Structure 1
Amino acid sequence: MSEQKPVRHILSLSGGKDSTALAIYMRDRVENMEYIFHDTGKELPDTLDYIEKLEAYLGQRVVRTTTRESFDDVLRTKGGMLPSGKRRWCTELLKLKPFEMYIGDEPCVNYVGIRADEDRVGYISHKPNIKPVFPFRDDGIDYAGVVRILEDAGLGLPPYTEWGRTRSGCFFCFYQQKIEWVRLKQHHPELFEEAKAYEKPNRVNGKVFNWTDESLETIEAPERMAQIEDNWERAKERRRARQHKRPLVAVLGGLEIEESPRDGCMICQL
Protein backbone atom coordinates (compact mmCIF):
# COMPACT_ATOMS: atom_id res chain seq x y z
CA MET A 1 0.00 0.00 0.00
CA SER A 2 1.41 3.39 -1.03
CA GLU A 3 2.10 6.03 1.58
CA GLN A 4 -0.20 9.03 1.69
CA LYS A 5 1.66 12.17 0.68
CA PRO A 6 1.75 15.03 3.22
CA VAL A 7 -0.41 18.04 2.44
CA ARG A 8 1.49 21.11 1.26
CA HIS A 9 0.37 24.60 2.29
CA ILE A 10 1.02 27.19 -0.41
CA LEU A 11 0.29 30.91 -0.59
CA SER A 12 0.75 32.40 -4.04
CA LEU A 13 1.79 36.07 -4.05
CA SER A 14 1.11 38.65 -6.74
CA GLY A 15 2.89 41.62 -5.18
CA GLY A 16 -0.49 43.19 -4.47
CA LYS A 17 -1.84 44.29 -1.12
CA ASP A 18 -4.27 41.42 -0.51
CA SER A 19 -1.91 38.46 -0.99
CA THR A 20 0.84 40.34 0.86
CA ALA A 21 -1.47 41.03 3.80
CA LEU A 22 -2.57 37.40 3.76
CA ALA A 23 1.07 36.25 3.93
CA ILE A 24 1.55 38.46 6.99
CA TYR A 25 -1.73 37.29 8.51
CA MET A 26 -0.90 33.61 8.05
CA ARG A 27 2.66 33.82 9.37
CA ASP A 28 3.00 31.56 12.42
CA ARG A 29 -0.54 30.22 11.88
CA VAL A 30 0.41 27.40 9.52
CA GLU A 31 3.55 25.30 9.78
CA ASN A 32 5.73 24.86 6.70
CA MET A 33 3.86 27.44 4.65
CA GLU A 34 5.38 27.89 1.20
CA TYR A 35 5.26 31.36 -0.33
CA ILE A 36 5.60 31.56 -4.11
CA PHE A 37 5.67 34.34 -6.68
CA HIS A 38 5.13 33.78 -10.41
CA ASP A 39 7.64 36.11 -12.07
CA THR A 40 6.80 36.70 -15.73
CA GLY A 41 9.92 38.78 -16.29
CA LYS A 42 7.63 41.74 -17.02
CA GLU A 43 6.88 42.82 -13.46
CA LEU A 44 7.16 46.37 -12.21
CA PRO A 45 10.38 47.07 -10.30
CA ASP A 46 8.11 48.40 -7.54
CA THR A 47 6.49 44.97 -7.24
CA LEU A 48 9.82 43.15 -6.97
CA ASP A 49 10.97 45.58 -4.27
CA TYR A 50 7.75 44.96 -2.34
CA ILE A 51 8.26 41.18 -2.48
CA GLU A 52 11.78 41.63 -1.08
CA LYS A 53 10.43 43.69 1.82
CA LEU A 54 7.90 40.96 2.55
CA GLU A 55 10.67 38.36 2.58
CA ALA A 56 12.50 40.39 5.21
CA TYR A 57 9.35 40.55 7.34
CA LEU A 58 8.57 36.86 7.00
CA GLY A 59 12.17 35.83 7.54
CA GLN A 60 11.63 33.40 4.72
CA ARG A 61 12.41 33.29 1.03
CA VAL A 62 9.58 33.66 -1.45
CA VAL A 63 10.13 31.06 -4.17
CA ARG A 64 10.15 32.49 -7.70
CA THR A 65 8.41 30.18 -10.12
CA THR A 66 8.52 30.52 -13.86
CA THR A 67 8.33 28.47 -17.03
CA ARG A 68 11.00 27.93 -19.62
CA GLU A 69 8.94 30.00 -22.05
CA SER A 70 9.12 33.75 -21.55
CA PHE A 71 6.37 36.22 -22.43
CA ASP A 72 8.13 36.93 -25.71
CA ASP A 73 8.42 33.21 -26.48
CA VAL A 74 4.69 32.69 -26.01
CA LEU A 75 3.89 35.87 -27.94
CA ARG A 76 5.75 34.46 -30.94
CA THR A 77 3.69 31.27 -30.82
CA LYS A 78 0.58 33.46 -30.77
CA GLY A 79 1.68 35.26 -33.92
CA GLY A 80 2.08 38.56 -32.13
CA MET A 81 -1.49 38.52 -30.80
CA LEU A 82 -1.27 40.45 -27.53
CA PRO A 83 -3.25 39.18 -24.55
CA SER A 84 -6.49 40.95 -23.69
CA GLY A 85 -9.57 40.54 -21.53
CA LYS A 86 -10.87 38.00 -24.06
CA ARG A 87 -7.47 36.39 -24.67
CA ARG A 88 -5.91 35.99 -21.23
CA TRP A 89 -3.20 33.59 -22.33
CA CYS A 90 -0.62 35.44 -20.24
CA THR A 91 -2.38 34.48 -17.01
CA GLU A 92 -3.01 30.92 -18.13
CA LEU A 93 0.52 30.20 -19.41
CA LEU A 94 2.74 32.45 -17.30
CA LYS A 95 0.93 32.40 -13.95
CA LEU A 96 -1.41 29.42 -13.62
CA LYS A 97 0.78 26.92 -15.49
CA PRO A 98 3.91 27.46 -13.35
CA PHE A 99 1.72 27.41 -10.24
CA GLU A 100 0.33 23.98 -11.12
CA MET A 101 3.75 22.71 -12.24
CA TYR A 102 5.25 23.77 -8.90
CA ILE A 103 2.60 21.84 -6.98
CA GLY A 104 2.48 18.82 -9.26
CA ASP A 105 0.13 16.06 -8.10
CA GLU A 106 0.77 16.46 -4.38
CA PRO A 107 -2.18 17.35 -2.15
CA CYS A 108 -2.16 21.08 -1.50
CA VAL A 109 -4.08 23.74 0.40
CA ASN A 110 -3.88 26.99 -1.58
CA TYR A 111 -4.43 30.18 0.46
CA VAL A 112 -6.23 32.87 -1.56
CA GLY A 113 -6.49 36.53 -0.52
CA ILE A 114 -10.10 37.29 -1.41
CA ARG A 115 -11.47 39.72 1.20
CA ALA A 116 -14.78 39.53 3.03
CA ASP A 117 -16.04 42.61 1.14
CA GLU A 118 -15.30 41.17 -2.31
CA ASP A 119 -17.13 38.97 -4.77
CA ARG A 120 -14.50 38.11 -7.33
CA VAL A 121 -13.96 35.53 -10.02
CA GLY A 122 -10.86 34.62 -11.98
CA TYR A 123 -8.27 31.96 -12.59
CA ILE A 124 -8.14 29.43 -9.76
CA SER A 125 -6.83 25.94 -10.38
CA HIS A 126 -9.46 23.22 -10.63
CA LYS A 127 -7.02 20.33 -10.21
CA PRO A 128 -8.52 17.89 -7.70
CA ASN A 129 -5.38 17.83 -5.54
CA ILE A 130 -5.53 21.62 -4.95
CA LYS A 131 -7.99 22.90 -2.35
CA PRO A 132 -8.44 26.70 -2.24
CA VAL A 133 -9.20 28.33 1.11
CA PHE A 134 -10.11 31.96 1.84
CA PRO A 135 -8.98 33.06 5.33
CA PHE A 136 -9.94 36.73 4.92
CA ARG A 137 -13.43 35.85 3.79
CA ASP A 138 -13.80 33.27 6.57
CA ASP A 139 -12.53 35.68 9.25
CA GLY A 140 -14.46 38.73 8.04
CA ILE A 141 -11.41 40.80 7.05
CA ASP A 142 -12.26 43.59 4.61
CA TYR A 143 -10.29 46.32 2.82
CA ALA A 144 -9.75 48.36 5.99
CA GLY A 145 -8.54 45.24 7.75
CA VAL A 146 -6.03 44.52 4.99
CA VAL A 147 -4.66 48.07 5.23
CA ARG A 148 -4.30 47.73 9.01
CA ILE A 149 -2.38 44.46 8.62
CA LEU A 150 0.04 46.07 6.15
CA GLU A 151 0.52 49.19 8.27
CA ASP A 152 1.03 47.25 11.50
CA ALA A 153 3.70 45.14 9.78
CA GLY A 154 5.51 48.27 8.59
CA LEU A 155 5.11 47.48 4.88
CA GLY A 156 2.21 49.75 4.01
CA LEU A 157 0.53 49.63 0.62
CA PRO A 158 2.58 48.58 -2.44
CA PRO A 159 4.89 51.39 -3.61
CA TYR A 160 3.28 51.62 -7.05
CA THR A 161 0.09 52.90 -5.42
CA GLU A 162 1.97 56.10 -4.57
CA TRP A 163 2.04 57.07 -8.24
CA GLY A 164 -1.49 55.99 -9.05
CA ARG A 165 -1.32 52.35 -10.15
CA THR A 166 -4.01 50.15 -8.66
CA ARG A 167 -2.81 46.67 -9.59
CA SER A 168 0.20 44.42 -9.48
CA GLY A 169 1.04 42.19 -12.40
CA CYS A 170 2.88 42.97 -15.61
CA PHE A 171 3.69 46.62 -16.32
CA PHE A 172 1.72 46.38 -19.57
CA CYS A 173 -1.36 44.73 -18.05
CA PHE A 174 -4.28 45.26 -20.42
CA TYR A 175 -6.62 45.78 -17.46
CA GLN A 176 -4.96 49.10 -16.65
CA GLN A 177 -7.08 52.21 -16.73
CA LYS A 178 -6.06 54.98 -19.13
CA ILE A 179 -4.80 57.07 -16.22
CA GLU A 180 -2.52 54.19 -15.23
CA TRP A 181 -0.96 54.17 -18.69
CA VAL A 182 -0.38 57.91 -18.30
CA ARG A 183 1.23 57.37 -14.89
CA LEU A 184 3.41 54.59 -16.31
CA LYS A 185 4.59 57.01 -19.00
CA GLN A 186 5.40 59.60 -16.34
CA HIS A 187 7.07 57.35 -13.76
CA HIS A 188 8.55 54.53 -15.84
CA PRO A 189 8.94 55.96 -19.36
CA GLU A 190 11.31 53.14 -20.35
CA LEU A 191 8.64 50.55 -19.54
CA PHE A 192 6.02 52.54 -21.43
CA GLU A 193 8.33 52.50 -24.46
CA GLU A 194 8.80 48.76 -24.09
CA ALA A 195 5.03 48.25 -23.95
CA LYS A 196 4.55 50.50 -26.97
CA ALA A 197 7.07 48.48 -28.98
CA TYR A 198 4.74 45.48 -28.80
CA GLU A 199 2.06 47.37 -30.73
CA LYS A 200 3.30 46.46 -34.20
CA PRO A 201 1.97 44.48 -37.20
CA ASN A 202 1.95 40.76 -36.42
CA ARG A 203 3.60 38.27 -38.75
CA VAL A 204 0.41 36.31 -39.53
CA ASN A 205 -1.82 38.90 -41.17
CA GLY A 206 -0.17 42.25 -40.48
CA LYS A 207 -2.85 43.27 -37.99
CA VAL A 208 -1.74 45.56 -35.16
CA PHE A 209 -2.83 44.52 -31.66
CA ASN A 210 -3.02 47.25 -29.02
CA TRP A 211 -3.03 46.96 -25.24
CA THR A 212 -6.16 49.07 -25.00
CA ASP A 213 -8.83 50.43 -27.33
CA GLU A 214 -6.40 53.07 -28.57
CA SER A 215 -2.70 52.86 -29.28
CA LEU A 216 -0.13 53.89 -26.70
CA GLU A 217 1.25 56.29 -29.29
CA THR A 218 -2.13 58.03 -29.21
CA ILE A 219 -2.31 57.97 -25.41
CA GLU A 220 1.14 59.55 -24.98
CA ALA A 221 0.30 62.59 -27.12
CA PRO A 222 0.44 65.60 -24.73
CA GLU A 223 -3.10 66.73 -25.48
CA ARG A 224 -4.48 63.21 -24.97
CA MET A 225 -2.58 62.74 -21.72
CA ALA A 226 -3.94 66.06 -20.47
CA GLN A 227 -7.46 64.98 -21.42
CA ILE A 228 -7.11 61.65 -19.59
CA GLU A 229 -5.79 63.40 -16.49
CA ASP A 230 -8.62 65.93 -16.60
CA ASN A 231 -11.22 63.14 -16.90
CA TRP A 232 -9.57 61.38 -13.96
CA GLU A 233 -9.69 64.50 -11.78
CA ARG A 234 -13.37 64.97 -12.61
CA ALA A 235 -14.06 61.37 -11.62
CA LYS A 236 -12.21 61.95 -8.32
CA GLU A 237 -14.40 64.96 -7.61
CA ARG A 238 -17.50 62.87 -8.19
CA ARG A 239 -16.18 60.28 -5.73
CA ARG A 240 -15.48 62.98 -3.15
CA ALA A 241 -19.06 64.17 -3.53
CA ARG A 242 -20.18 60.70 -2.46
CA GLN A 243 -17.96 60.62 0.64
CA HIS A 244 -20.90 60.81 3.00
CA LYS A 245 -21.79 57.30 1.88
CA ARG A 246 -18.37 55.89 2.76
CA PRO A 247 -17.81 53.72 5.87
CA LEU A 248 -16.87 55.62 9.02
CA VAL A 249 -13.47 53.87 9.17
CA ALA A 250 -12.67 55.22 5.71
CA VAL A 251 -13.61 58.79 6.62
CA LEU A 252 -11.63 58.74 9.86
CA GLY A 253 -8.64 56.89 8.45
CA GLY A 254 -8.52 58.52 5.04
CA LEU A 255 -8.72 55.15 3.28
CA GLU A 256 -9.52 54.91 -0.41
CA ILE A 257 -12.18 52.23 -0.34
CA GLU A 258 -12.55 50.24 -3.55
CA GLU A 259 -16.03 51.05 -4.69
CA SER A 260 -16.59 48.23 -7.15
CA PRO A 261 -15.20 44.80 -8.01
CA ARG A 262 -11.92 45.04 -9.90
CA ASP A 263 -11.44 43.56 -13.31
CA GLY A 264 -8.57 41.19 -13.76
CA CYS A 265 -7.22 37.80 -12.83
CA MET A 266 -6.98 36.79 -9.20
CA ILE A 267 -3.68 34.98 -9.49
CA CYS A 268 -2.12 38.16 -10.96
CA GLN A 269 -3.59 40.76 -8.65
CA LEU A 270 -4.54 39.44 -5.23
Structure 2
Amino acid sequence: MAERHVLGISGGKDSAALAIYMRQHHPELNIEYFFTDTGKELPEVYEFLGKLEGFLGKKIEYLNPDRDFDFWLKEYNHFLPSPQTRWCTRQLKLRPFELWVRPMLAAGDSVTSYVAIRADEEYREGYASKHKNLKIALPFRENGIDKAAVGEILEASGVGWPEYYKWRSRSGCTFCFFQQKIEWARLKENHPEAFEEAKDYEKNAMEHGSPFTWSQGESLSELEKPERLIQIFKDYDERKARVAARKTQNPLRPVEIDDIDDIYGDDEGNGSCNICHK
Protein backbone atom coordinates (compact mmCIF):
# COMPACT_ATOMS: atom_id res chain seq x y z
CA MET A 1 0.00 0.00 0.00
CA ALA A 2 1.17 3.52 -0.83
CA GLU A 3 -0.09 7.03 -0.28
CA ARG A 4 -0.64 8.80 -3.60
CA HIS A 5 -1.40 12.45 -4.28
CA VAL A 6 -2.89 13.55 -7.61
CA LEU A 7 -3.91 16.94 -8.98
CA GLY A 8 -5.80 17.47 -12.21
CA ILE A 9 -4.77 20.41 -14.39
CA SER A 10 -7.51 21.71 -16.69
CA GLY A 11 -5.50 24.43 -18.42
CA GLY A 12 -7.50 27.02 -16.50
CA LYS A 13 -6.39 29.54 -13.89
CA ASP A 14 -7.70 27.85 -10.74
CA SER A 15 -6.11 24.41 -11.14
CA ALA A 16 -2.84 26.01 -12.26
CA ALA A 17 -2.85 28.24 -9.17
CA LEU A 18 -3.59 25.21 -6.98
CA ALA A 19 -0.62 23.33 -8.46
CA ILE A 20 1.60 26.33 -7.72
CA TYR A 21 0.15 26.69 -4.22
CA MET A 22 0.72 23.02 -3.36
CA ARG A 23 4.27 23.15 -4.75
CA GLN A 24 5.04 26.17 -2.57
CA HIS A 25 3.25 25.12 0.63
CA HIS A 26 3.61 21.34 0.53
CA PRO A 27 6.90 20.53 -1.21
CA GLU A 28 7.11 17.35 0.86
CA LEU A 29 4.23 15.81 -1.11
CA ASN A 30 5.05 13.87 -4.27
CA ILE A 31 2.09 15.14 -6.26
CA GLU A 32 1.30 13.53 -9.61
CA TYR A 33 -0.10 16.13 -12.01
CA PHE A 34 -2.37 15.05 -14.85
CA PHE A 35 -4.22 16.63 -17.75
CA THR A 36 -7.04 14.83 -19.55
CA ASP A 37 -6.40 15.66 -23.18
CA THR A 38 -9.47 15.46 -25.41
CA GLY A 39 -7.49 16.53 -28.49
CA LYS A 40 -9.94 19.41 -28.97
CA GLU A 41 -8.25 21.90 -26.63
CA LEU A 42 -7.15 25.40 -27.52
CA PRO A 43 -3.49 25.62 -28.62
CA GLU A 44 -2.98 28.23 -25.90
CA VAL A 45 -3.82 25.56 -23.32
CA TYR A 46 -0.89 23.36 -24.39
CA GLU A 47 1.44 26.38 -24.34
CA PHE A 48 0.33 27.24 -20.81
CA LEU A 49 0.79 23.66 -19.61
CA GLY A 50 4.38 23.75 -20.83
CA LYS A 51 4.98 26.97 -18.91
CA LEU A 52 3.44 25.47 -15.78
CA GLU A 53 5.65 22.38 -16.07
CA GLY A 54 8.67 24.68 -16.04
CA PHE A 55 7.61 26.14 -12.70
CA LEU A 56 6.67 22.81 -11.14
CA GLY A 57 9.87 21.16 -12.32
CA LYS A 58 7.82 18.09 -13.11
CA LYS A 59 6.01 16.63 -16.08
CA ILE A 60 2.25 16.79 -16.28
CA GLU A 61 0.97 13.39 -17.36
CA TYR A 62 -1.41 13.61 -20.30
CA LEU A 63 -4.34 11.19 -20.09
CA ASN A 64 -5.56 10.56 -23.61
CA PRO A 65 -9.05 9.05 -23.83
CA ASP A 66 -8.99 5.67 -25.55
CA ARG A 67 -12.06 6.73 -27.51
CA ASP A 68 -12.17 10.21 -28.98
CA PHE A 69 -14.91 12.82 -29.41
CA ASP A 70 -15.97 11.47 -32.81
CA PHE A 71 -16.43 7.96 -31.38
CA TRP A 72 -18.69 9.17 -28.59
CA LEU A 73 -20.60 11.51 -30.90
CA LYS A 74 -21.66 8.45 -32.93
CA GLU A 75 -22.49 6.54 -29.74
CA TYR A 76 -24.84 9.36 -28.74
CA ASN A 77 -26.59 9.34 -32.13
CA HIS A 78 -24.69 12.42 -33.32
CA PHE A 79 -26.39 14.56 -30.66
CA LEU A 80 -24.14 17.34 -29.45
CA PRO A 81 -23.29 17.49 -25.75
CA SER A 82 -25.18 20.19 -23.89
CA PRO A 83 -25.70 21.54 -20.36
CA GLN A 84 -28.52 19.00 -20.07
CA THR A 85 -26.48 16.07 -21.43
CA ARG A 86 -22.80 16.53 -20.60
CA TRP A 87 -21.57 13.31 -22.14
CA CYS A 88 -18.29 14.94 -23.19
CA THR A 89 -17.29 15.56 -19.57
CA ARG A 90 -18.36 12.08 -18.55
CA GLN A 91 -16.64 10.20 -21.38
CA LEU A 92 -13.64 12.40 -22.21
CA LYS A 93 -12.70 13.74 -18.77
CA LEU A 94 -14.12 11.62 -15.92
CA ARG A 95 -13.77 8.21 -17.55
CA PRO A 96 -10.03 8.59 -18.39
CA PHE A 97 -9.34 9.79 -14.83
CA GLU A 98 -11.18 6.82 -13.35
CA LEU A 99 -9.31 4.39 -15.63
CA TRP A 100 -6.00 6.01 -14.64
CA VAL A 101 -6.62 5.90 -10.90
CA ARG A 102 -8.24 2.44 -10.87
CA PRO A 103 -4.96 0.42 -10.72
CA MET A 104 -3.79 2.55 -7.80
CA LEU A 105 -6.96 1.79 -5.85
CA ALA A 106 -6.88 -1.88 -6.86
CA ALA A 107 -3.38 -2.10 -5.38
CA GLY A 108 -4.78 -0.84 -2.08
CA ASP A 109 -3.20 2.59 -2.37
CA SER A 110 -4.74 5.58 -0.64
CA VAL A 111 -5.25 8.36 -3.20
CA THR A 112 -5.89 12.02 -2.39
CA SER A 113 -7.14 14.11 -5.31
CA TYR A 114 -6.72 17.87 -4.95
CA VAL A 115 -9.46 19.96 -6.58
CA ALA A 116 -9.33 23.73 -7.21
CA ILE A 117 -12.68 24.85 -5.82
CA ARG A 118 -12.20 28.29 -4.30
CA ALA A 119 -13.42 29.66 -0.97
CA ASP A 120 -15.83 32.00 -2.80
CA GLU A 121 -17.51 29.11 -4.65
CA GLU A 122 -19.78 27.73 -1.93
CA TYR A 123 -22.19 26.48 -4.58
CA ARG A 124 -19.65 24.21 -6.28
CA GLU A 125 -18.98 20.62 -5.35
CA GLY A 126 -16.00 18.47 -6.19
CA TYR A 127 -15.84 15.08 -7.85
CA ALA A 128 -17.88 12.60 -5.82
CA SER A 129 -15.60 9.73 -4.86
CA LYS A 130 -17.11 6.25 -5.17
CA HIS A 131 -14.19 4.47 -3.52
CA LYS A 132 -13.28 4.53 0.17
CA ASN A 133 -9.55 4.94 -0.65
CA LEU A 134 -10.09 7.93 -2.96
CA LYS A 135 -10.30 11.14 -0.97
CA ILE A 136 -11.08 14.61 -2.33
CA ALA A 137 -9.21 17.59 -0.86
CA LEU A 138 -10.19 21.25 -1.40
CA PRO A 139 -7.16 23.29 -0.22
CA PHE A 140 -8.44 26.64 -1.54
CA ARG A 141 -11.75 26.33 0.27
CA GLU A 142 -10.04 25.15 3.44
CA ASN A 143 -7.55 28.04 3.40
CA GLY A 144 -9.79 30.90 2.27
CA ILE A 145 -8.28 31.31 -1.21
CA ASP A 146 -10.71 33.28 -3.41
CA LYS A 147 -10.71 34.44 -7.02
CA ALA A 148 -8.53 37.50 -6.36
CA ALA A 149 -6.00 35.39 -4.47
CA VAL A 150 -5.80 32.96 -7.40
CA GLY A 151 -4.72 35.84 -9.64
CA GLU A 152 -2.10 36.90 -7.11
CA ILE A 153 -0.69 33.35 -6.96
CA LEU A 154 -0.36 33.19 -10.76
CA GLU A 155 1.28 36.59 -11.04
CA ALA A 156 3.64 36.23 -8.06
CA SER A 157 4.89 32.88 -9.36
CA GLY A 158 5.82 34.32 -12.74
CA VAL A 159 3.65 31.76 -14.51
CA GLY A 160 0.99 34.37 -15.19
CA TRP A 161 -2.32 33.88 -16.94
CA PRO A 162 -3.09 31.60 -19.87
CA GLU A 163 -3.07 33.63 -23.09
CA TYR A 164 -6.64 32.71 -24.00
CA TYR A 165 -7.93 34.76 -21.05
CA LYS A 166 -7.41 37.78 -23.28
CA TRP A 167 -10.51 36.72 -25.18
CA ARG A 168 -12.12 33.80 -23.35
CA SER A 169 -13.21 33.13 -19.77
CA ARG A 170 -12.37 29.44 -19.36
CA SER A 171 -10.37 26.51 -20.65
CA GLY A 172 -11.87 23.42 -22.23
CA CYS A 173 -12.62 22.25 -25.74
CA THR A 174 -12.68 24.80 -28.55
CA PHE A 175 -16.39 24.18 -29.05
CA CYS A 176 -17.47 24.01 -25.40
CA PHE A 177 -21.22 24.68 -25.17
CA PHE A 178 -20.68 26.77 -22.02
CA GLN A 179 -19.10 29.55 -24.08
CA GLN A 180 -20.89 32.87 -24.19
CA LYS A 181 -21.80 34.31 -27.56
CA ILE A 182 -18.97 36.85 -27.38
CA GLU A 183 -16.58 33.94 -26.93
CA TRP A 184 -17.91 32.20 -30.03
CA ALA A 185 -17.41 35.45 -31.93
CA ARG A 186 -13.86 35.70 -30.59
CA LEU A 187 -13.18 32.04 -31.41
CA LYS A 188 -14.02 32.87 -35.02
CA GLU A 189 -11.52 35.75 -34.85
CA ASN A 190 -8.71 33.91 -33.07
CA HIS A 191 -9.10 30.34 -34.37
CA PRO A 192 -11.28 30.38 -37.50
CA GLU A 193 -10.39 26.77 -38.33
CA ALA A 194 -11.73 25.62 -34.94
CA PHE A 195 -14.90 27.65 -35.48
CA GLU A 196 -15.41 25.95 -38.86
CA GLU A 197 -14.91 22.53 -37.28
CA ALA A 198 -17.54 23.36 -34.66
CA LYS A 199 -19.92 24.44 -37.45
CA ASP A 200 -19.38 21.12 -39.23
CA TYR A 201 -20.15 19.17 -36.04
CA GLU A 202 -23.27 21.26 -35.50
CA LYS A 203 -24.50 20.80 -39.09
CA ASN A 204 -23.97 17.04 -38.87
CA ALA A 205 -25.82 16.87 -35.55
CA MET A 206 -28.78 18.86 -36.85
CA GLU A 207 -29.00 16.60 -39.89
CA HIS A 208 -29.32 13.67 -37.46
CA GLY A 209 -32.11 15.38 -35.53
CA SER A 210 -30.15 16.79 -32.61
CA PRO A 211 -32.28 19.31 -30.67
CA PHE A 212 -29.18 21.22 -29.54
CA THR A 213 -26.94 23.81 -31.17
CA TRP A 214 -23.61 24.80 -29.63
CA SER A 215 -24.87 28.25 -28.69
CA GLN A 216 -28.30 28.43 -27.13
CA GLY A 217 -31.02 29.76 -29.40
CA GLU A 218 -29.05 30.00 -32.64
CA SER A 219 -26.71 28.03 -34.86
CA LEU A 220 -23.14 29.08 -35.49
CA SER A 221 -24.07 29.81 -39.11
CA GLU A 222 -26.60 32.35 -37.82
CA LEU A 223 -24.22 33.70 -35.19
CA GLU A 224 -21.43 34.41 -37.69
CA LYS A 225 -23.53 36.63 -39.96
CA PRO A 226 -21.86 40.07 -40.13
CA GLU A 227 -24.81 41.98 -38.72
CA ARG A 228 -25.18 39.46 -35.87
CA LEU A 229 -21.47 39.66 -34.98
CA ILE A 230 -21.68 43.45 -34.88
CA GLN A 231 -24.61 43.19 -32.47
CA ILE A 232 -22.81 40.68 -30.23
CA PHE A 233 -19.74 42.89 -29.90
CA LYS A 234 -21.91 45.97 -29.34
CA ASP A 235 -23.93 44.25 -26.60
CA TYR A 236 -20.75 43.05 -24.92
CA ASP A 237 -19.09 46.49 -24.95
CA GLU A 238 -22.22 48.14 -23.55
CA ARG A 239 -22.54 45.60 -20.77
CA LYS A 240 -18.84 45.84 -19.97
CA ALA A 241 -19.15 49.63 -19.64
CA ARG A 242 -22.13 49.26 -17.27
CA VAL A 243 -20.23 46.80 -15.08
CA ALA A 244 -17.14 49.04 -15.03
CA ALA A 245 -19.22 52.04 -13.99
CA ARG A 246 -20.63 50.14 -11.00
CA LYS A 247 -17.32 48.59 -9.98
CA THR A 248 -15.25 50.13 -7.19
CA GLN A 249 -11.61 50.49 -8.19
CA ASN A 250 -9.24 48.56 -5.93
CA PRO A 251 -5.97 50.54 -5.56
CA LEU A 252 -4.15 47.32 -4.66
CA ARG A 253 -5.17 45.78 -7.98
CA PRO A 254 -5.21 48.67 -10.48
CA VAL A 255 -4.94 46.30 -13.44
CA GLU A 256 -7.48 43.52 -13.60
CA ILE A 257 -8.00 40.89 -16.26
CA ASP A 258 -11.06 41.37 -18.49
CA ASP A 259 -13.25 38.69 -16.93
CA ILE A 260 -16.16 37.76 -19.19
CA ASP A 261 -17.84 35.87 -16.35
CA ASP A 262 -17.88 39.03 -14.23
CA ILE A 263 -19.64 40.84 -17.05
CA TYR A 264 -22.24 38.21 -17.86
CA GLY A 265 -22.60 36.57 -14.44
CA ASP A 266 -25.32 33.92 -14.46
CA ASP A 267 -27.09 35.20 -17.55
CA GLU A 268 -25.11 33.27 -20.12
CA GLY A 269 -22.65 30.39 -20.14
CA ASN A 270 -23.34 29.54 -16.50
CA GLY A 271 -22.71 26.18 -14.83
CA SER A 272 -19.39 25.11 -16.32
CA CYS A 273 -18.01 21.69 -15.42
CA ASN A 274 -15.37 21.70 -12.67
CA ILE A 275 -13.17 19.01 -14.15
CA CYS A 276 -12.97 20.78 -17.53
CA HIS A 277 -12.63 24.41 -16.50
CA LYS A 278 -11.07 24.58 -13.06
Distance 1:189 1:107, change over 3 A: same
- CA displacement, residues 103-135 of structure 1 (integer Å, 9 cap, x when unaligned): 112421111111112224366142222211111
* Paired letter, 1:22: L
> How does 1:86-125 map onto structure 2 within 5 Å?
86-104=84-102, 105=105, 106-121=109-124, 124-125=127-128
Q: Distance in 1 between matches of 2:207 and 2:95?
A: 26
Confirm whether residue 10 of structure 1 aligns to residue 6 of structure 2: yes
TM norm structure 1? 0.91
1:193 corresponds in structure 2 to 196
* Paired letter, 1:166: S
- CA-atom RMSD, angstroms? 2.0
Greater mean deviation of Cα atoms: 96-105 or 221-230: 96-105
* Deviant stretches of 4+, over 6 Å: none
Q: Distance in 1 between matches of 2:125 and 2:91?
A: 14
Distance 1:171 1:123, change over 3 A: farther
Equivalent position to 1:19, from 15, 21, 39: 15
* Paired letter, 2:101: I
Q: Distance in 1 between matches of 2:178 and 2:156?
A: 30
* Paired letter, 1:264: S
Q: Distance in 2 between matches of 1:126 and 1:61?
A: 25
- CA displacement, residues 207-245 of structure 1 (integer Å, 9 cap, x when unaligned): 46411221000111110000000000111011012113x
Equivalent position to 1:215, from 219, 227, 241: 219
Percent identity among equivalent residues?
Answer: 46
2:136 corresponds in structure 1 to 132
* Paired letter, 1:232: Y
8 Å contact from structure 1 (residues 112, 134) kept in 2: yes
Q: Distance in 2 between matches of 1:238 and 1:253?
A: 18
8 Å contact from structure 1 (residues 115, 142) kept in 2: yes
**Gaps in structure 1 of 5+ consecutive residues:** none
2:52 corresponds in structure 1 to 54
8 Å contact from structure 1 (residues 116, 136) kept in 2: yes
- CA displacement, residues 39-65 of structure 1 (integer Å, 9 cap, x when unaligned): 001000001110011011111000001
1:231 corresponds in structure 2 to 235
Equivalent position to 1:31, from 23, 29, 32: 29
Confirm whether residue 268 of structure 1 aligns to residue 276 of structure 2: yes
Greater mean deviation of Cα atoms: 139-148 or 123-132: 123-132
TM norm structure 2? 0.88
- CA displacement, residues 63-109 of structure 1 (integer Å, 9 cap, x when unaligned): 00122100111101111000000000000111011111111124211
Q: Distance in 1 between matches of 2:34 and 2:195?
A: 27
Q: Distance in 2 between matches of 1:166 and 1:119?
A: 20
Distance 1:215 1:131, change over 3 A: same
* Paired letter, 2:13: K
SS of residue matched to 1:69: coil
2:76 corresponds in structure 1 to 78
Q: Distance in 2 between matches of 1:91 and 1:12?
A: 14
* Paired letter, 1:254: E
Greater mean deviation of Cα atoms: 203-212 or 43-52: 203-212
SS of residue matched to 2:98: helix
> How does 1:142-221 map onto structure 2 within 5 Å?
142-162=146-166, 164-202=167-205, 205-207=208-210, 209-213=212-216, 214-221=218-225
Greater mean deviation of Cα atoms: 35-44 or 131-140: 131-140
